[in-house]
Structure 1
Amino acid sequence: MSFFQKVSILLTVCAIMVASNIYTLIPIYSLLADSLFIAESHVVLAGGLFTFFYACGLLSFGPVSDYTGPRKILVLGLLASALATLAVGFSSGSVSLWVARSVQGITLATFASVAFAYSYDLFNFRQRTILVVLINTGFLIAGIFGQVASAFLADVLSWNSVFYFFSAVYFILFAAAFFLLKESSPPSVESTPLWRVFFQLLKDSRLLKCYMITFSLLFAIIAFYDAIGRFFNGPESDLLMIRLVGLIGASLSLFTGKLMERWGELRTLMFGLAIGSSSAFMLLFFHSTGALIFFSIFFVSSISLVIPTVITLIGYYGSSQRAKALSLYSFILLTGASLAPPAAAMLSFSGIMGLLSSLFLLNIGLCILIQKKAFQSAKAG
């Protein structure tokens, strides 16, 4: 097995396991609240704190890796994640849960943007493209795996075992990364202040619209599954099936490249958004287990198409500042995710589905505006 193949397997598994902790609280809100004798809203807040600090970490560790090299951040980040995740399992009340989940969010943020930087440093264009797709597919699988693993372990053992399990996994991945990953030369560091680079990126109207779309993506997937978990009244086995079938939709991300080659990025993006909007809209009227299974496949498929396409567009529009443009993408993506649990807690199931359908329609409108600007620029040129 070549070095590239070994790294691809390791980073894909890391992507699944790291991103899974965005979703681990969704199936165990009430169980955790009852076990710690705290309000369920406090557990929801813990989820929001995790995603907020995770987003802040994503914005920070990419630039930090410019100084240290990505390998150090990846390896030490996994060790810190193991310790922080273990601390979550020992939480005894609201405050300790909030602090532990916040620290866990920061430590797990050492992976995503730094893994992309590592891919760019060590591999050629073709290998890098394959690895980025695999990592993104891992992130999508995590949305299902995190919920299923959490629900299973909490049901068979206890809520603490969820975090003991992931802590043990991070220790194993730390050891694998320590021995497998090669050092790469730190890239040259620019003298331009980071905040000024981010401000310049946001002044680009095309990037700004892409970031507006980005904000809704993880918000949508987390709110979708959170709403189903809260309002589904059927047996646990059916709820597990609803979550598992999403893996079928997640696999569609592997074919995004072919669709972009055939249709172009913006058409692929609008197609994915149209599927998501239609799926959420149909769930306003059909609430049976079969309908939830059927439309959840299409909803996850839409996210699977949209995320890699948005990354491609941001990378293209970001040009020479591509790495920082993608760091800003990661921050905005997770900032949206941090608002999903409280939104799902405040709205009814129909309210969430109506909101998601409307958000995706709005995003299609943003795509049309980007397309119009591109057409005008081409005409002027």
Structure 2
Amino acid sequence: MSKATETAIQRHQPDFWKASLALFSGAFVTFANLYSTQPLLPLLAREFNISPAAASLSLSVATASLAMALLFTPGLSDRVGRKSIMVTALLLASVLGFVVTFVQHYSLLLIIRGLQGFALAGLASIAMTYVNEEFSQQCRGLAMGLYVSGTTVGGMSGRIITGSLTELYDWHLALQVLAGISLACSLIFAFALPVSKHFSPQSLSLKVMAKGFAHHLRHWPQLGRFLHGFLLMGGLVTLYNYVSFRLQEEPYQLTEAAIGWLFVIYLLGTFSSTWMGAKADKFGPRPVLLICILLMFIGLLLSTLDSLKVIITAMGIFTFGFFGAHSIVSSWVGQASNEYKAQASALYLLFYYAGSSLIGSVGGYFWSHWQWFGITGLVLTLVCASGLIALTSKH
């Protein structure tokens, strides 16, 4: 048995649960803060007297800056260490969560949200690397599962906390409470995460990084997988951004709290990502991916109906299909990477969050001009384009 294997974190050791708790907490902070303003978009539009598209920028600038930072944070962590980067990122993002509640001008709010997104990349881009380096092969799957569950719970809880507290008090207090919870979770992360035992500092080579990015972008099947992330994530965020505007209008008139609770639907993603991933292992990624895309298509068509129950069901079907597709494509990217694996993962996440940022904001134009049919038309186009890529991709 090698020395690295002997010192790896094993499932029966206390360090396994300490590290898993830390990673869950870090994932919670990252995704709770990243999407915290999504249920508040109609309120921000009213309070700052801005358009729905401008209000959506409170989410888009955070995801865009996170996407850009993903190109640099993995290389930086290779040089200075995993834990130090992740701890600094979480603490900084939590502090910025407090700061954003005191701004008086929307432009300043966007600047701080951009900085917060940039900081949050420090965990999003490194956590998987830490798991692969520090955990034994026998328990990496469980450790990553707990981390992914933290991302789901964090994304859902951040929206519910801000939506519910905004209705009871105001959005400033709601985000301050979330920032306080995030700071507590960041401290848990800092004290519970074991120090890296298998990290070796490496020189930061921009030439090698650029070569790896170019290698994957020139490979059409891999580029197609990156485009899946761009198109499908753009569709998901657009749908959830503007369903809040729709459901606050007649005849629904839902409150911020009710819209926040709509994101409980995300729990379907916890199941579908695992279940569809297993089906892809059995039947191959392409046919299962096409089934997921078909589910998203069906969900979109149902969402055009007026019944609130049908709309919620439609959002659930779309969400189930999306997370299944995301699980399949992200795994496919890794399996198809024989070299420059880190750059492949970084590019997939870059396209993924770029879709969230760009299409999420463009959706505001469609909402302002054509309301919900404009949104469904836009997202249907994205889903069909993704389906076409899947149909024409190699096995």
- Alpha-carbon distance between aligned partners in 2 of 1:61 and 1:321, rounded to the nearest angstrom: 16
**Counterpart AA for 2:360:** P
User: Which is further off, 69-78 or 188-197?
Assistant: 188-197
Match of 2:200 in 1: 186
- Alpha-carbon distance between aligned partners in 2 of 1:231 and 1:214, rounded to the nearest angstrom: 26
CA contact 1:61–1:109 (8 Å) conserved in 2: yes
- Alpha-carbon distance between aligned partners in 1 of 2:278 and 2:57, rounded to the nearest angstrom: 40
- Alpha-carbon distance between aligned partners in 2 of 1:201 and 1:220, rounded to the nearest angstrom: 24
Match of 1:223 in 2: 238
Match of 1:320 in 2: 339
Match of 1:151 in 2: 163
CA contact 1:75–1:178 (8 Å) conserved in 2: yes
The SS at the match of 2:339 is: helix
- Alpha-carbon distance between aligned partners in 1 of 2:328 and 2:161, rounded to the nearest angstrom: 28
Residue deviations 1:128-149 (CA, integer Å, cap 9, x gap): 2233333334334444333222
Q: Say if 1:41 and 1:215 are closer, same or farther in 2 by CA, change over 3 A.
A: closer
Asked if 1:262 is matched to 2:276, the reply is no
User: Which is further off, 63-72 or 133-142?
Assistant: 133-142
The SS at the match of 2:200 is: coil
Match of 1:253 in 2: 273
Residue 33 of structure 1: how far off its partner (Å): 4.2
From 306, 331, 347, the counterpart of 1:287: 306
- Alpha-carbon distance between aligned partners in 1 of 2:330 and 2:149, rounded to the nearest angstrom: 13
Match of 1:165 in 2: 177
- Alpha-carbon distance between aligned partners in 1 of 2:263 and 2:144, rounded to the nearest angstrom: 24
- Alpha-carbon distance between aligned partners in 2 of 1:41 and 1:204, rounded to the nearest angstrom: 34
Asked if 1:271 is matched to 2:291, the reply is yes
The SS at the match of 1:318 is: coil
- Alpha-carbon distance between aligned partners in 2 of 1:30 and 1:290, rounded to the nearest angstrom: 21
What percentage of residue pairs aligned between the two structures are identical? 21
Match of 2:189 in 1: 177
Query: Considering only aligned residues, what root-mean-square deviation do their CA atoms show, in Å?
Result: 2.2
Residue deviations 1:86-135 (CA, integer Å, cap 9, x gap): 11111111222121111111111111111111111101334222333333
**Counterpart AA for 1:163:** L
Q: Say if 1:38 and 1:205 are closer, same or farther in 2 by CA, change over 3 A.
A: closer
Q: Say if 1:169 and 1:118 are closer, same or farther in 2 by CA, change over 3 A.
A: same
**Counterpart AA for 1:292:** I
Match of 2:151 in 1: 139
Asked if 1:364 is matched to 2:387, the reply is yes
The SS at the match of 1:236 is: coil
Match of 2:323 in 1: 304
Residue 199 of structure 1: how far off its partner (Å): 0.9
Q: How does 1:1-381 map to 2 (within 5 A)?
A: 2-36=14-48, 41-184=53-196, 185-186=199-200, 188-189=202-203, 191=205, 192-232=207-247, 233=249, 234-236=252-254, 239-240=259-260, 242-284=262-304, 286-347=305-366, 348-371=371-394, 374=395
Residue 360 of structure 1: how far off its partner (Å): 1.8
User: Which is further off, 27-36 or 58-67?
Assistant: 27-36
User: Which is further off, 328-337 or 155-164?
Assistant: 155-164
Residue 201 of structure 1: how far off its partner (Å): 1.2
- Alpha-carbon distance between aligned partners in 2 of 1:34 and 1:360, rounded to the nearest angstrom: 31
Q: Say if 1:320 and 1:188 are closer, same or farther in 2 by CA, change over 3 A.
A: farther
**Counterpart AA for 2:165:** L
- Alpha-carbon distance between aligned partners in 1 of 2:326 and 2:377, rounded to the nearest angstrom: 21
**Counterpart AA for 1:201:** H
Q: Say if 1:342 and 1:100 are closer, same or farther in 2 by CA, change over 3 A.
A: same
Residue 256 of structure 1: how far off its partner (Å): 3.5
Q: Say if 1:266 and 1:190 are closer, same or farther in 2 by CA, change over 3 A.
A: farther
Residue deviations 1:195-218 (CA, integer Å, cap 9, x gap): 221011111111100011010232
Match of 1:379 in 2: none
- Alpha-carbon distance between aligned partners in 1 of 2:374 and 2:333, rounded to the nearest angstrom: 31
- Alpha-carbon distance between aligned partners in 2 of 1:341 and 1:280, rounded to the nearest angstrom: 16
Residue 53 of structure 1: how far off its partner (Å): 0.7
- Alpha-carbon distance between aligned partners in 2 of 1:229 and 1:205, rounded to the nearest angstrom: 37
- Alpha-carbon distance between aligned partners in 2 of 1:66 and 1:316, rounded to the nearest angstrom: 22
Q: Say if 1:31 and 1:256 are closer, same or farther in 2 by CA, change over 3 A.
A: same
The SS at the match of 1:333 is: helix
Unpaired stretches in structure 2, ≥5 consecutive residues: 1-12
CA contact 1:21–1:146 (8 Å) conserved in 2: yes
Residue 193 of structure 1: how far off its partner (Å): 3.0
TM (normalized to structure 1)?
0.89
TM (normalized to structure 2)?
0.86
Give the total of aligned pairs.
371
Q: Say if 1:250 and 1:217 are closer, same or farther in 2 by CA, change over 3 A.
A: farther
